[in-house]
Structure 1
Amino acid sequence: MKSLLKLARVCGLFLLLLGIFSSCTVQLAPSYNQELVTGITAQNKATMEFFAMVALGTKQSTYANREPYYNQLIGSFDALVTQANARFTPRNKVRQKANEALKKKGIPVLEEGEIPSATALERIYTTLVKMRETDQKQGVTLTEVQAFKGQIKIYMDQALTYENALER
């Protein structure tokens, strides 16, 4: 009888602890933000439409026609970077230990508080600024357009993949 009572207490304690720990979660990434994902998706579409417009290359003499498109895209990506960075980024021991383990193996890690999608969006912004400068000075060739587009598609994939993964 005593062993049965002891077993019941142990089971009860186990269930209590299980209930407490199952309600605890460790947040390792910023929260999902549907508005940010919608903005990234909209700018992805606008950017690919822009690349369709300049797909065969451009001439410096017609740059003024494209300048408003560049300005709209660059301004929108700058705003998305700010929006992505404005979210709370959790700092916790689990993330710290994981980063330390990765560093020991020689695997690069994000800096404390760095958000992968914000970094990718910032690189899209920088790429578009460089493309605008090149276009304004000399126009862009077919090969240059393809290179800029390829680079932006890589960063866009990174931003969208990360943000969509946060939806859980």
Structure 2
Amino acid sequence: MHKLYCVSWQSYRFFVESAAVLLIIVVSVVSGCSIQLSPAYDQATLTSISDLNVKTETLLASLSHGGTAGDFSKHKATYDQLIGGFSAARVATASRDVPAPSQRLLGIAHLNGVCGNEPSNCVNPTPHHLDKVIALLSAMRNTHQQGELVSELVTGFNGQGGFKGQYEIEMSRILVFETALQR
């Protein structure tokens, strides 16, 4: 007895697209050819982001016991420098060229589930994570200015979470990706 299988056009298309991507990867590996899928490495970008990271960790350490509206003015210039620096890094990393093979892969509709609403996040995730860092530092600055920056908001509870914990999650993702571009 024969079984009848019903395959939708979308399933067939997904299979063909997936097989094509797999074939490209296999051929590249076997032939020793390298295909660049992410933007080119830029030492200046990594250095700038690393410097901003040190300054941010220093700010977080200095505010580990919290901050008041009265001492906000002492930290305002640092907040401005960090938010401005990360914003400049975001513009620079968002304007990097995405290699042609990545552009073709990004056209595959099924990658949207993996990459979120913006498929370029898969091949150039740094701008997305810098957006989160900028939002986080802006929220911390605003909370500090209002005099509501208690130590638990900065360091979290039992050293978990808080502005520092969330910042370090985003920054580690940025540094891992930017360092990986060096290879």
TM-score by length of 2: 0.71
Output the amino acid matched with 2:36.
Q
Q: Which residue of 1 aligns with 2:174?
A: 159
Max Rg structure = 1
Contact 2:111 2:119 in 1 (8 A): no
5+ long unaligned stretches in structure 1: 1-20
- Residue 26 of structure 1: which of 35, 43, 46 is its match? 35
For residues 51 and 120 of structure 1, the distance between their equivalents in structure 2, rounded to whole angstroms, comes to: 18
For residues 61 and 157 of structure 1, the distance between their equivalents in structure 2, rounded to whole angstroms, comes to: 32
User: Displaced runs of 4+ in structure 1, greater than 4 A?
Assistant: 21-24, 99-103
Contact 2:136 2:163 in 1 (8 A): yes
User: Are 2:102 and 1:95 aligned?
Assistant: no
Q: Which residue of 2 aligns with 1:131?
A: 140
Output the amino acid matched with 2:165.
G
Q: Which residue of 2 aligns with 1:79?
A: 88
Return closer, same or farther for 1:30/1:53 CA change in 2, 3 Å cut-off.
Answer: same
Q: CA deviation at 1:143?
A: 0.6
Q: CA deviation at 1:107?
A: 3.7
Q: Which residue of 2 aligns with 1:40?
A: 49
User: Are 2:120 and 1:113 aligned?
Assistant: yes
Contact 2:94 2:127 in 1 (8 A): yes
User: Are 2:59 and 1:50 aligned?
Assistant: yes
5+ long unaligned stretches in structure 2: 1-29, 156-161
Give the fraction of aligned pairs with identical amino acids, expressed as a percent. Answer: 30
Contact 2:36 2:99 in 1 (8 A): yes
Q: CA deviation at 1:83?
A: 1.2
Return closer, same or farther for 1:158/1:110 CA change in 2, 3 Å cut-off.
Answer: farther
Q: CA deviation at 1:111?
A: 1.9
Equivalent residues, number: 146
Q: Structure 1, residues 32-62: CA drift from partner, whole Å, max 9, x if none?
A: 1111000111111010011111111111121
For residues 53 and 96 of structure 1, the distance between their equivalents in structure 2, rounded to whole angstroms, comes to: 42
Q: Which residue of 2 aligns with 1:16?
A: none
SS of the residue aligned with 1:28? coil
CA RMSD of aligned residues (A): 2.4
Contact 2:52 2:86 in 1 (8 A): yes
Contact 1:51 1:149 in 2 (8 A): yes
SS of the residue aligned with 1:138? coil
For residues 79 and 97 of structure 2, the distance between their equivalents in structure 1, rounded to whole angstroms, comes to: 30
- Higher relative contact order, structure no. (Cα contacts within 8 Å, ≥ 6 residues apart): 1
Higher-helix-fraction structure: 1
Return closer, same or farther for 1:69/1:90 CA change in 2, 3 Å cut-off.
Answer: same
